[in-house]
Every structure is written in structure tokens, then in C-alpha cells.
Structure 1
Amino acid sequence: MIKRYPTKKIYVGSVAVGGDAPISVQSMTFSKTSDVTSTVEQIKRLHFAGCDIVRVAVPQMEDALALKSIKEQISLPLVADIHFNHRLALVAAEVVECIRINPGNIGSKERVKEVVKACQARNIPIRIGVNSGSLEKEFLNRYGQTAEAMVASAEYNIKYLEDLGFNEIKISLKASDVERTVDAYRMLRPKNNYPFHLGVTEAGTLFHATVKSAIGLGSLLLDGIGDTMRVSITGELEEEIKVARAILKDSGAAKDGLNIISCPTCGRIEADLVSAVGEIEERTAHIKAPLNVSVMGCVVNAIGEAAHADVAIAYGKGKGLIMVKGEVVANLDESELVDRFVAEVEKMASEFQ
């Protein structure tokens, strides 16, 4: 398991962020928040997909006023995303579990002070959301649109909140490219102990967002950096959660669900491996136990990989072996292998409950 940087634990509603808490996964609705029915429907979809915290955009007063009705119909912790108009944050703070403000566009210190006072009154955290596209002019003029400018903005605004006696803070440092995003998080991490919200902003469609987020967020997670995260995708809500969970699992930052090891397709394969792996993924998607399972298509790699897996199929020509913890438990016809494999996985997974 990756050793994470020690950070302060805060709470977004019932969800702990930082400290020894699991790395939580967030997403954001795309409906007009004032459309309560659509927003609630999207939040429930995210909840079902495995989201831990949900954020909604609050660009207008009608959106802020809709938050109370939304909150009454959902169970996920709710974050209000505020830009430009601090009055929206004052209304939202009466209802939500966290306020996200962008220091580069929220306005004067006095406006930030009012937001802090409102959050202090309800003991809810503030996310300082630094975005490379909307940095304060003083930092842009000094550093340009760089990771250094993002870090300088974050440090300035952290200090300002601290000077107001507020330290229920989490921080994000997002750029639309991986390099600046990773550099900024790495640069700021040793300088404070506040929890970090990870993300590459404006990452694009499913394919590009998956690649960018896997590289950027995965790199940071491997460094032990990150306490909560969002994968930003132009597309279906559920895909953000699916990709985020996969990055957490495959980086080793979380132990949640099966790690499926399977051959790349090549001329040595002696079975319909693509169909088999697809069926196995579908039939085991509900399993949360952290098991390593192997589905190998020829004798070259099969036995070696299978020997180190919790449960494995080692395909041969028309037949194959089922192995559990390196021991052969069955020698079956190809048509019987997937059913037996799934049964063995479910049996082992039940031991984790």
C-alpha cells in the first residue's frame, strides 16, 4: 500500500477527507442547479455509481435558493461551486457541507472574509480551488501561467484564511495539462498539511480524460499525494466515477475490487480470450474484495501468472486449468472454465465480508 503524505482530516458532511481516511471520489452535476428535478436525478445516479461527494454549480441566485430542496432529497454530501459572486456562497453555506471558491475571481478580501464567517458559523470546510485559467493578476504578472503562479496563489489564499482563524481547508491546483497540474501539487505538498483535491481540469472526452487523469492523478497518488479526487470528463457522469475508481485501484492507492490480469492478444492464444475476459468483468463487477485474478490464453505465460494469482484460468487448447492460490483445483473443457472461475472468485470474496 502506498504511504500517503500525512494531512489534516476534515469532514465534508459525513465523509472524512485527509488523515487516514480513504481517498474519496467526487463528481459534478451538469444540469442547471435551479432545475431541482434533473439535479437530484443526476446526484442519485452518481450515488448509485459509487460517488462519495457531489458538487453543483451555483452561478445564479436561483441556483443557490434551489440547494435547500436538493439537499432534502439526497444523501451525498453537497459542495457548492461559487465563482464571482460571494453572495451566492453566503446563501449556499446555510445548506451545503462545503463551499468551493476560486480566489482568482471571488473578489476582494472583504468578500472572502464574509464567506469565511458564514462557513465558520456552520463549521463547514472551504475548498480553495486554484485554476490556471483564472489566476490573480499579481501572480500571472510575476510568474506567468505556470505551476509557480498556481502555488503562489494557493499559499496567499491559505494564509489569508488562516489569518482569519479558519483552517478547515482543502486545496486543489488544476490546470488543463498534466505537467503543470502535477508540478503544482508536488511543489505545494511539502509546504502545508491540508488535504488535497486532485484533478486535471477540462481534460476532454472519455478517451483523452482517462489518459490525462491516469497519468496526472496516478503519478501523484504514487507519490502519496491526494486525499480526494475528481476525473473530469466531457460525457456521462458514471464514467467519471468508473475511471476514478480504476485509477485508485490500479495505482495501488486503494484496494477495492478485482485486479484482472489478462494476456494481450497475440497469435499464441488458444481460446476466445476477449469474450472470456469480457464476461468475467461483467459477472464480477459487483465484487469489492481486493483479489488478484488471472485469465491467461496460452501455456507460455499461463502457469507462471496463475501461480501468483488468487484465482486463475490457464487456458490450453480446448481445455484449461482452474487454479486457486497456485494450486490446480480443476481441469475442465473450455466451455466450463468461466462458470467455475466465477464461482471460485465469489467463494473467496465472501471470506472478506
Structure 2
Amino acid sequence: MINRKKTRQIYVGDVAIGGGNPISVQSMTKTDTRDVDATVRQITLLKSIGCEIIRLAVPDMQAAIAIGKIKSQLAGHSIPIIADIHFDWRLALEAINQGVDGLRLNPGNIGAKWKVREIVNSAKEKNIPIRIGVNAGSLEKDLLEKYTHPTTEALIESAERHIRILEDLNFYNIKVSLKASSVIKTVEAYRLFSDRFDYPLHIGISEAGPPMSGTIKSAVGLGILLAEGIGDTMRVSLTAEPEEEVRVAYEILKSLGIRKRGPELISCPTCGRCQVDMRPLAQKVEDILKNIDKPISVAVMGCIVNGPGEAREADIGIASSKGMGLVFKKGKVIKKVKEEELLKTLNDLINEA
């Protein structure tokens, strides 16, 4: 049983974050925000596979204005949109004007205090939260001089500065992230921050990498934090299509028993008893399961002698041997079929479940 750290509750659109609410899964579009049709298609796909919050890059005024068109085309497919803003206060104001549901910006990078006040007043009026996003790769120059490199304390001090700016303007509708490409540094920063503050936390490993190595780094880092009860919303950052980020995020949550969305695939690592090539078989089953939302567990085993027993906790499964295979439920064999009929039989059982 994981005991979640108690944090304040805020809302991004209609998604509650913090306060013990379910850990929400985010991603970021990888289209040009100014290409409204392409961005809408990507958001629609992401929502269909369980993404709950979407962040858009807003590099210029044209992108900020496009948010309104994107929101309009998404009518009926409600999903909160966060605008990612750097430096230019006018982009934040326009994004709010276009109906964005949240901002990701660091107030200390906006400039004069009156510019920050303008953003805060507009965000207050629309009840829009601001995520302070501290990143080890873009810390303030004086902090880098003070600490000589991006230490965990430097990350915390940067976050404190930005928080203080907003709190001085009586703005508390805040969530915070403290990301680094280093797993250890990221974990330490979130631990320290979580001990000192009760603002809800957006967790992630920055620039985690391509699918394989990025998934491993994210699973290790986010898995540690989540197991310690730290984190209220999350994004897995991969050099891959954004839907892969969403799938990996749910697999991490599922592995810890925090959230169950979609199926769980159990497959044996193979050994000398195997008489079939398990890798393509397991891959084909994984491909089938990608479009399934049901929270079922499916096993693919390579040994008809021990396979059903070893995967007895799976809802349904197959155990293959040369020329034939067994179909089982909860470890009990229900059918023997030809090897070439295994996948179809399994697919039918999944659809019936």
C-alpha cells in the first residue's frame, strides 16, 4: 500500500490534481501548434489512449492565437490544454484569452513585476493554474555560479524564487516540477521539495531519451517517487511519438498498482524448454492489446507443461508448443488448439472478457 504525500488540490480544466486525487497522465504535442489540424489530430489520438492533460508549445503569437482554434475543433472532446510559455508575457495573456486551461511558465523569467502581475490577474480571473517548471538545463546564471553546477539545492532554490514571486501577488494556484536528465538528481530534488512544500507536483525525468533507454530511466526515477507517495501528475518524456509516452506512463502506474488502465501483458523470458519463437508471438499479442481498454491480464507462455501454472494469476492466456497450444483462464486449461489458431482464439477471448 502506497501512502501518498498530502498536497493541495488544484484543477486543470476539470482534472483535479493533488489532494489525493488519481495521478493524471500528461503528454505534449510534437506538432507545430500553428498547424491546427495536425495538432487537433494528435490531441484526439492521445485522448483516445488515455492522455488526460495536453501541453502545447507556444513559441510566438501565432501559436498562442491557434489555441482558440484548437479548442474550438476539440469541442465535445474535452481535454485540458496547457500553454508552455517562455519569457514573453504577452503570449501568456493571449493563451489565457484563447481559453487555455493552464500555463507552464517561470515567473522569474518573465521580466518586470508588472508583467507578471498582468499574467497573475488574468489567471486569477479565469481560475487558471500556473506550473512552475524548474529544469536543470536552464537554471538561472547566478545559481549556477553559486552552486557551480545544477545541484538539487540549486533546483529547489530556483523553485522557491518563482513560488515567492507568485505568493507575493497572492497567487497560490500553483503546481511545481523539478526535472533533470539525471535520475538521482531528479529524485533527490522532488524528495527535498516534497518535505518543504505542499504544492502539487508534476513529475518527470527531463530529456529521458529514445524509447528503450528513456523508458528505463523514466520507470526507475518515476517509480521511486511514486512508490514513496510523491507525484500528483506525470509525463514520460521520450524521443518518440507522444502516444508512446502515455502508454509507458500507464505501465509505470500499473506496475505499482496505482492505476489500472488497459491490459497487463505477462510473458515468459523463454528457456531451453521452448519449442516456439516466443518473441514474435509476444509482440503480436502486445500489438493486439494496444487498442484494448479493458483492465485484464493476459499471459503468453512458451511452455505447456508449466506455463498455465506459472501464469495462474492472469485472467486469460496461452501456452504454446510446437504445432499446438493451450488456452487457459486463471491457470486452468480450457481449450487445446492448433498453433496457428492460438492468436485468433486469444483475441476472441479478450473481446468476450
TM-score by length of 1: 0.89
Query: Unaligned regions of 5+ residues in structure 1, if any?
Result: 349-353
Look up the equivalent residue of 1:3 and give its one-letter code: N
- Cα distance change on mapping 1:291 and 1:153 into 2, 3 Å: same
More off after superposition, 214-223 vs 180-189: 214-223
User: Do 2:304 and 2:325's aligned partners in 1 also have CA atoms closer than 8 Å?
Assistant: no
Match of residue 120, structure 2, among 111, 116, 120: 116
Give the deviation of 1:110 after TM superposition.
3.6
In structure 2, the partner of 1:295 is 300
- Cα distance change on mapping 1:8 and 1:324 into 2, 3 Å: same
Instruction: Map Cα deviations across residues 72-102 of structure 1 (whole Å, 9 max, x no partner).
Output: 1123211111111112212212221001102
Look up the equivalent residue of 2:302 and give its one-letter code: G
Q: Which runs of 4+ in 1 moved over 4 A?
A: none
User: Do 1:27 and 1:55's aligned partners in 2 also have CA atoms closer than 8 Å?
Assistant: yes
Give the deviation of 1:103 after TM superposition.
4.0
Task: Name the CA distance, whole Å, in 2 between partners of 1:171 and 1:92.
Answer: 20
In structure 1, the partner of 2:217 is 212
Task: Name the CA distance, whole Å, in 2 between partners of 1:113 and 1:301.
Answer: 66
Matched, 1:152 2:157: yes
Query: Unaligned regions of 5+ residues in structure 2, if any?
Result: none
Task: Name the CA distance, whole Å, in 2 between partners of 1:309 and 1:28.
Answer: 33
Task: Name the CA distance, whole Å, in 2 between partners of 1:33 and 1:335.
Answer: 46
User: Do 2:24 and 2:232's aligned partners in 1 also have CA atoms closer than 8 Å?
Assistant: yes
In structure 1, the partner of 2:178 is 173
More off after superposition, 150-159 vs 30-39: 30-39
Give the deviation of 1:317 after TM superposition.
4.9
Look up the equivalent residue of 1:127 and give its one-letter code: R
Match of residue 347, structure 2, among 334, 337, 342: 342
Task: Name the CA distance, whole Å, in 2 between partners of 1:73 and 1:276.
Answer: 40
Matched, 1:93 2:115: no
Task: Name the CA distance, whole Å, in 2 between partners of 1:343 and 1:44.
Answer: 28
Instruction: Map Cα deviations across residues 22-62 of structure 1 (whole Å, 9 max, x no partner).
Output: 22222222333333333333323333343211111222222
Matched, 1:164 2:172: no
Look up the equivalent residue of 2:85 and give its one-letter code: I
- Equivalences for residues 234-249 of structure 1 within 5 A: 234-249=239-254
In structure 2, the partner of 1:76 is 79
User: Do 1:306 and 1:314's aligned partners in 2 also have CA atoms closer than 8 Å?
Assistant: no
Task: Name the CA distance, whole Å, in 2 between partners of 1:30 and 1:173.
Answer: 22
- Cα distance change on mapping 1:68 and 1:338 into 2, 3 Å: closer
In structure 2, the partner of 1:188 is 193
What is the DSSP-based 3-state SS (H/G/I as helix, E as strand, rest coil) of the residue aligned with 2:214?
helix
Give the deviation of 1:5 after TM superposition.
1.9
Task: Name the CA distance, whole Å, in 2 between partners of 1:30 and 1:328.
Answer: 45
In structure 2, the partner of 1:280 is 285
Look up the equivalent residue of 2:105 and give its one-letter code: I
User: Do 1:23 and 1:228's aligned partners in 2 also have CA atoms closer than 8 Å?
Assistant: yes
Matched, 1:59 2:64: no
- Cα distance change on mapping 1:103 and 1:132 into 2, 3 Å: farther
What is the DSSP-based 3-state SS (H/G/I as helix, E as strand, rest coil) of the residue aligned with 1:112?
helix
Give the deviation of 1:213 after TM superposition.
1.5
TM-score by length of 2: 0.89
In structure 2, the partner of 1:38 is 38
In structure 2, the partner of 1:233 is 238
User: Do 1:99 and 1:127's aligned partners in 2 also have CA atoms closer than 8 Å?
Assistant: yes
More off after superposition, 154-163 vs 118-127: 154-163
Task: Name the CA distance, whole Å, in 2 between partners of 1:35 and 1:321.
Answer: 50
Task: Name the CA distance, whole Å, in 2 between partners of 1:265 and 1:326.
Answer: 18
Matched, 1:251 2:256: yes
- Cα distance change on mapping 1:234 and 1:279 into 2, 3 Å: closer
Task: Name the CA distance, whole Å, in 1 between partners of 2:96 and 2:257.
Answer: 35
Give the deviation of 1:105 after TM superposition.
2.4
Instruction: Map Cα deviations across residues 292-325 of structure 1 (whole Å, 9 max, x no partner).
Output: 3322112564243132322232334544433322
Look up the equivalent residue of 2:239 and give its one-letter code: T
Alignment length (residue pairs): 348
What is the DSSP-based 3-state SS (H/G/I as helix, E as strand, rest coil) of the residue aligned with 1:72?
helix
Task: Name the CA distance, whole Å, in 1 between partners of 2:214 and 2:133.
Answer: 19
What is the DSSP-based 3-state SS (H/G/I as helix, E as strand, rest coil) of the residue aligned with 1:241?
helix
Give the deviation of 1:262 after TM superposition.
0.9
